[in-house]
Amino acid sequence: MSSAEEGPDRVRILGFVNHIAPGPDIEASIERAFEWGVDVIVAQGTGSDWGPHWLGSGEMPAADVAANVEPYVAAAVRHGVPFVFSFGIAGANVHLERNLAQFDTLCERRGWELRVGVIRSQLSQEYLTRAVQAGPPVLAAGEGPDLPSRLGAADVAAAERVVALVGPEPVMAALGGGVDGVLTGRALDIGLFMALPMVKGLPKAVAAHAGKLLECGGLAAEPGDSGQCLWAEVRADGFEVRSPSPSHAVSVRSLVSHTFYERSHPSLEENPGGILDLREATYSPTDLGVWCQGAEWIEKPYTVLMEGATRVGFRAISVLGVREPALLRQIRGWADSAEAEVRGAARFASAFAEGRVRMGVRIFGLDGVLGALEPNARVTGHEASVIVDVVADDRALAEQVAYFAFIRLFIGPYPDRKTTAGNAAAPFMPVVIPVSEVYRFGIYHLLPLEDPVEPFPFVVERFPGRAVEPSREERADAAV
């Protein structure tokens, strides 16, 4: 059976991560996968691993996503199979549009003429406000000191941007439009992989389990490398996973390890419309990979996870280095004393009391990673890095507080000090470094949906040129 042919009882998927540059010799790996057969190429390119900053700011990393996907799209065009990608890291409209522009330039340069289903995942304030006011309760997906247990209209109004993780159903609808590929904003990673198997009638549990193992490409192989791709053949009773790269391989250990990725429970994962249950899953080596089976799907009411970024303030930092032994022996007390002096300074006291500014001192080499949870907080090495972290409601206040704290730490007294200078070093100039606006997840809630497709309609765009085709409804209206 050629790679373009589709068996009625199987779907063969080539998966990778599109915001990471592909590894060397990726074209050879792609061609090896097509020798096994490929029915769809899928890649996730969105996530919240780095927090809410890019969602709130509208910024994004300078990755050349078009260059990352080029060898895969070239293979898809050459072999006549569809591709399904999420784009833009944070995945709001502004991020998706930048990646679509890159993709358009790529298509023009390569001479590709493609019909692509585009799905946007950003929710408007008006849409979400109506859902909050008129629909069932929109409850938090987790707990947090600043996360309301039930979403309200004021929380929606405070958010800079809100995206929802598109599930498999909107992608299925777009694939049903006969397109060459589908490009989405923020999406459920495994949902991208589930779409075509579900279109073909394969069990949701098997599709979700396969998606879980393919979602990060070669990260689930040995050695783990998200610049590599993975291949799977999905059937009704299970699926086989292989690595097309001759330098990487999948094993039972590597795949099972990846099932724990981004999950609070070792065997259960909540998803739109249900729970992926891997308690009875089994993994068996094959000649070229691993056979996986036994996943179950527990049906639940359909909800999609929303992420909304709310502005907190502006961050400025100051960095010092310490290796003076007497100071290292009392470094936490020294830092706490300086912080207390800053908080009590007349010029800043009211700002701290009103919550307009927050400050913390992180000491790498002591407790910089875990903070108050550090079990070895009394242990220091021969040097430490001290970071003054200030977040205030405006940049000027943040920089003023950071500088005041820097001076106190740089020349401030401490017991057994031998010299008034040179006890702490300033490795960077300027000594106060303006960082960026700061955001938090003010919305991390589950939106109930009766229709999983309703908030995420697709449009068909022609690349290059970005010409938008009329929808079926628009064509029907025009005919009337």
Percent residues over pLDDT 90 in the chain: 88
Which residue has tokens 């993709």? 103
Would you give the end-to-end CA distance of the chain in angstroms?
A: 45
Cβ pair 296, 277 in contact under 8 A: yes
**Residue 479 confidence (pLDDT):** 61
- Which pLDDT tens digit goes with each residue over 222-232? 999 999 999 99
309-441 adopts what CATH topology?
A: Alpha-Beta Plaits (3.30.70)
Cis peptide before 223 (omega within 30 of 0): yes
Please, is 12 exposed, middle or buried when counting C-beta atoms within 10 Å of its C-beta (0-12, 13-18, 19+)? buried
Nearest to 23 by CA among 78, 68, 84, 76: 68
CA–CA separation, 444 and 437 (whole Å): 20
3-state secondary structure of 289: strand
| Mean pLDDT, residues 199-213 | 98
Radius of gyration of the chain (CA): 26
**Which strand (E) or helix (H) includes residue 258?**
helix 252-259
**Residue 429 confidence (pLDDT):** 95
3-state SS of the chain: helix, strand, coil percent to 5?
35, 30, 40
Report residue 427's pLDDT band, with 50, 70 and 90 as the boundaries: very high
Cβ pair 442, 51 in contact under 8 A: no
**Residue 1 confidence (pLDDT):** 29
**pLDDT, greater one: 62 or 22:** 22
| Domain map (residue ranges) of the chain | 10-121+165-300+450-479, 309-441
Give the distance, in angstroms, between the CA of residue 294 and the centroid of all CA atoms in the same chain: 28
Report residue 380's pLDDT band, with 50, 70 and 90 as the boundaries: confident
**Residue 473 confidence (pLDDT):** 67
Report residue 153's pLDDT band, with 50, 70 and 90 as the boundaries: very high
Q: 403-430 burial, b if ≥16 CB within 10 A, otherwise e?
A: bbbbebbbebebeeeeeeeebbeeeeee
Instruction: Give, in order, the Cα–Cα distances in Å from 46 to each of 66, 100, 189.
Output: 15, 14, 8
Nearest to 38 by CA among 66, 68, 88, 74: 74
- Which pLDDT tens digit goes with each residue over 267-304? 999 999 999 999 999 999 999 999 999 999 999 999 99
CA–CA separation, 17 and 248 (whole Å): 16
Strands (E), 146-222: 159-164, 181-184
**Residue 347 confidence (pLDDT):** 96
To 10 degrees, the CA torsion angle through 137, 261, 146, 359? -170
**Residue 4 confidence (pLDDT):** 38
Report residue 403's pLDDT band, with 50, 70 and 90 as the boundaries: very high
